[in-house]
Amino acid sequence: MDIEYINGGVCAPQGFKAAGIACGFKSKGKKDLALIVSDVMCTVAAVYTTNKVKGAPLAVTKKNISDGLAKAIICNSGNANTCAPGGIAVAEKTCRLTGKLLGTEAENIIVCSTGVIGQRLEFDRFEKGIPMATAALKGNGCADAAQAIMTTDTVSKMVAVELVLGGKKCRIGGIAKGSGMINPKMATMLAFITTDAAITSEALDKALKEDIRSSFNQICIDGDTSTNDMAVVMANGMASNPTIKGEGEDMERFKRALSMVTVFLAKQLARDGEGASKLIECNVCGAPTHEVAGAIGKSVIASDLFKTAVFGSDANWGRALCAIGYTEGDFSVDNIDVTMSSTKGQVCVCRCSQHEEYSEEAATAILGENEIVIDINMNQGCGQGTAWGCDLTYDYVKINGDYRS
Catalytic residues: 188
What phi and psi, each to the nearest 5 degrees, are found at residue 182?
A: -125, 110
Is 224 strand, coil or helix?
A: coil
Rounded to the nearest 10°, the torsion over CA 58, 63, 68, 71 is -70
Sheet-wide strand order for 354-355: 219-220, 383-390, 279-287, 371-377, 337-342, 345-351, 354-355
208 touches 233 (CB < 8 A)? yes
CA 85 to chain centre: 28
Residues with Cβ within 8 Å of 146's Cβ and at least 6 positions away in sequence, in order, are 9, 20, 34, 156, 157, 158, 175, 177
Diameter of the chain measured on Cα atoms:
68
Strand partners for 219: 388
Q: By C-alpha distance, which of 286, 272, 302, 19 is closest to 154?
A: 272
CB proximity list for 8: less than 8 A, separation 6 or greater? 140, 142, 160, 171, 173
Name 107's Cβ contacts closer than 8 Å, sequence gap at least 6: 63, 64, 67, 95, 99
DSSP 8-state secondary structure symbol assigned to residue 382 = S
Residue 376 and residue 340: Cα distance in Å, rounded? 9
